[in-house]
Amino acid sequence: MPLKGLLSGARKGGIFSARSAARAAGNALTDTEKLAMLDELESSGLGWFWASDAQGNLTYLSGVIADRIEVEMDDLIGKPLASLFDPAGGDERTQSLSLKLGARKSFSNLSVTTAKFRSDVVIRLSGRPIFRPNGKFDGFRGTGTDITEQYHREEETARLAKFDSLTGLSNRHRMSHIIESTITAFRASKRNVAIMMMDLDRFKQVNDTLGHAAGDELLKQVSARLQRAIDKDCEIGRLGGDEFQIMLPDIDDRGVLGDVAGKVIAMLTQPYSLEEGRCVIGASVGIAIAPHDGVTRDEVVRAADLALYAAKNGGRGQFRFYSGDLENEAIFRRRLEGDLQDAISDNQLFLKYQPVISATTQEVVSLEALVCWNHPQRGEIDYDEFQSIVENSSLLTDVGEWAIRRACEEAAKWPEGLHVAVNVPSIQFASGGFIESVNIALKETDINPARLELEVKETVFLGDANTVDKTLGALFKLGVRITLDEFGTGYSSLEYLRRAPFDTIKFGENFLGGKLHEDSRELALVKAIVALSRALGMETIASGVDSYELLKTLHGCGVTSLQGGIFTDPITIEQVHEELEKGNWSITPTGPRSTRAKRRTVFRIIQVIHDDHSYGVTLRNLSRTGALIEGLEDVPIGTQFVVDLGGGQLAVATVTRENGDTQGLEFETPLVDDGAGGLCTRHRVSPYALAAAGAQLTALSPGDYKAMQGGLLNPGQSIPRFSYALGYKPEL
């Protein structure tokens, strides 16, 4: 429709109201002048016009709009208006142009996009229906305004309110809203939601050494890796600093979640290339699952936070599932950290030694010193647990200096050819007084410096390059031996071997365990590293050797020395002296022929269920594939039990061995790693289901759900089929 006709239609009751028409009657402008004025208005972009017929087809559109979206007018006129534009923001329910036109009512400020024409133009439309004097609907007349810049500014403002400006991930506010709404919606349908809390290890060191610009770029790369690492439906957010959060709906399989967390940690620990330099960081992950670990957002997020805290205390670079014991564990750990000062001053610390064996002669060539703690109330705290306690303590350097001095004191009484190895934390290595403390220990104990082996991890190279090189050079001048520890854990670089005067390269357990087989890339890599070390005049040590199968493979690679459970567990200083008194000290391997599932001594009371009867028994040890229980007699081989491991963990098991009051069980579904060196079931029984069934198991946390009285799984409801062993009273 030409503009003159549009104006005529407006005079009959269209665009202008009756009052406007009355005012127009007294206006001195001619129709031609008015049309010219409207043409100028259209051309200026300040006002556009459109019209449609009764069927909703476009009959008029200002040419400037067609020019703006770069579409020929012939491709627009006669087409359904609703088919030409989409609601801005994609909200069809409240912004549908088709609904507005179909209602035949006036509308205003409707934002639409021209994405169908591959244009990013955003238009704000207003319109009103046109009716003839007889009431017949004649279509719409309306105006339009280009609001593209304003719309995108508002959209960006809205985006910044929901997303992290640095990484593009959801921000804290958006993650909180999404988790809240998801858990609330899933609660009604009894679906699962997994929450992962993650933060970066050693990120502050990158900020301090390379600057905040490097830290920002690192966070961007971490974000990109996170999104590549997780191939499941999820929502990833950055809560601030180096803290991230991940929500995974409809996943309660802890085997799957453990794999996801492991993949995330592995990807994030690979080296990063920044403009300011190369760096390596790590990541720790805590995992909680609704409704098992909480039924509200606050409960589940708090559980994931506790799990993250436990993962960091466990040595960092690992994941941890939430369990009900973590809160008490956190409290107890803080108490232990507070007791550490007394441990040093009151001589509560002591060393155990892990022998290092010559691969050719099986003679003990070195002893690795492991710091343990004889706590007044807790008793002996072994090396692994002690390391997790001291790692975040301000006393880490003090403990490290004590360990070097004590190791030198005790080694001074050994034969001259026997070395002692001491682990040096990266923080101690970088401390200003490190070299002086080593020098004092050597002089005061009068030990040959060549007998002291200091093991450093590749993380020492994250510090200032000049300081690191200076410290390594000073150690070389002192005459001590230097070992690059845990080589092959993901940080390795040949640059380290070129820069540093290492005497030995030590393979980490994670690099060797269960991966070496004929024609494997891992085996080829080990052989290459051994050959390179030999060419550079370095020795090699393989730690974590726990089977004849692995031992044979490593012999074939030409590794210099071996260490692990196949030879012996760590021993006391008294046992060291006993062996040395015998003369020539060699150890024959006595481990299994092949790697098998490690059994962990547990010794706690659990329940096992058979034919609607529940029995309290003692769990003696536990592996991925089975368990050893004690306390029942007359249990035939082949009997099936449901084993209640607590926290909703029910595992179906079959009796495969029987010896009086002791039974060996084989699990129908193997357990999975819990991230802390322990084991857990893949799935847990929903607390909703347990409560509904009236189960009174340790699987149902007291106070969380109201269990119904009665039910088939209540202990002691009828006479047991199996009798308790004589004199055995389970402490239920």
CATH of the domain at 305: 3.30.70.270
Residue 675 within any structural domain of the chain = yes
Q: What CATH number corresponds to the domain at position 622?
A: 2.40.10
Q: Which residues pair with 357 in a beta bridge?
A: 364, 562
What integer pLDDT is reported at residue 730 of this predicted model?
Answer: 56
Q: Which residues contact 643 (CB under 8 A, 6 or more apart)?
A: 606, 607, 608, 609, 627, 629, 650, 651, 652, 653, 665, 667
Q: How far is residue 620's CA from residue 631's CA, in Å, rounded to a whole number?
A: 10
Q: Are residues 320 and 339 in the same domain?
A: no
Q: Are residues 357 and 492 in the same domain?
A: yes
Q: How far is residue 111's CA from residue 126's CA, in Å, rounded to a whole number?
A: 9
What integer pLDDT is reported at residue 328 of this predicted model?
Answer: 65
Residue 730 within any structural domain of the chain = no
- φ, ψ for residue 276 (rounded to 5)? -85, -10
Nearest Cα to 636, choosing from 610, 613, 614?
Answer: 610
With b for 16 or more beta-carbon neighbours within 10 A and e for fewer, the 71-84 pattern comes to beeeebeeeebbeb
Residue 55 within any structural domain of the chain = yes
Residue 466 within any structural domain of the chain = yes
- Pseudo-torsion of CA 104, 108, 111, 115, nearest 10°? 40
What integer pLDDT is reported at residue 573 of this predicted model?
Answer: 95
What integer pLDDT is reported at residue 704 of this predicted model?
Answer: 38
Q: Which of 259, 290, 324 is the last residue of a domain?
A: 324
Positions in the chain short of pLDDT 50 = 1-26, 93-94, 490, 593-599, 696-719, 731-732
Q: Are residues 484 and 437 in the same domain?
A: yes
Q: How far is residue 643's CA from residue 710's CA, in Å, rounded to a whole number?
A: 20
Residue 533 within any structural domain of the chain = yes
Q: Are residues 534 and 633 in the same domain?
A: no
What integer pLDDT is reported at residue 3 of this predicted model?
Answer: 45
What integer pLDDT is reported at residue 700 of this predicted model?
Answer: 39
Q: Are residues 397 and 278 in the same domain?
A: no
The two beta strands, 419-424 and 452-457, are parallel
Q: How far is residue 685's CA from residue 450's CA, in Å, rounded to a whole number?
A: 58
Read off the tokens for 222.
Answer: 């971490």
Q: How many domains would you assign to the chain?
A: 4
What integer pLDDT is reported at residue 510 of this predicted model?
Answer: 61
Q: Are residues 126 and 184 in the same domain?
A: no
What integer pLDDT is reported at residue 403 of this predicted model?
Answer: 95
Q: How far is residue 290's CA from residue 295's CA, in Å, rounded to a whole number?
A: 6
Q: Which of 154, 188, 215 is the last residue of a domain?
A: 154
Q: Which of 525, 551, 581 is the last residue of a domain?
A: 581
How far lies 467's CA from each of 373, 395, 460, 619, in Å?
Answer: 32, 22, 10, 52
Q: Which residues contact 485 (CB under 8 A, 6 or more apart)?
A: 423, 455, 456, 457, 506, 508
Q: Are residues 364 and 404 in the same domain?
A: yes
What integer pLDDT is reported at residue 725 of this predicted model?
Answer: 66
Q: Are residues 382 and 512 in the same domain?
A: yes
Structural domain containing residue 714: 600-724
Q: Which residues pair with 87 in a beta bridge?
A: 112
Residue 593 within any structural domain of the chain = no
Q: What CATH number corresponds to the domain at position 422?
A: 3.20.20.450
Q: Are residues 570 and 437 in the same domain?
A: yes
Residue 589 within any structural domain of the chain = no
Q: Which residues pair with 111 in a beta bridge?
A: 124
Q: How far is residue 52's CA from residue 534's CA, in Å, rounded to a whole number?
A: 85
What integer pLDDT is reported at residue 8 of this predicted model?
Answer: 45
Q: Detail the DSSP E strand segments found in 382-499.
A: 419-424, 452-457, 481-487
What integer pLDDT is reported at residue 119 of this predicted model?
Answer: 79
Cis preceding-peptide flag for 291 (omega within 30 of 0): yes
Q: Are residues 122 and 191 in the same domain?
A: no
Q: Are residues 474 and 515 in the same domain?
A: yes
Residue 576 within any structural domain of the chain = yes
What integer pLDDT is reported at residue 387 of this predicted model?
Answer: 81
What integer pLDDT is reported at residue 140 of this predicted model?
Answer: 94
pTM of the entire structure?
0.60
233-240: long-range contacts (C-beta < 8 A, 24 or more apart)?
235/170, 235/175, 235/178, 236/169, 236/170, 237/164, 237/169, 237/170, 237/171, 237/172, 237/174, 237/175, 238/164, 238/166, 238/167, 238/169, 238/170, 238/171, 239/171, 239/172, 239/175, 240/172
Q: What CATH number corresponds to the domain at position 71?
A: 3.30.450.20
Q: Are residues 528 and 670 in the same domain?
A: no
Q: Which residues pair with 139 in a beta bridge?
A: 130
In the chain, helix, strand, coil percent, each to 5? 40, 25, 35
Whether 384 contacts 371, CB under 8 Å: no
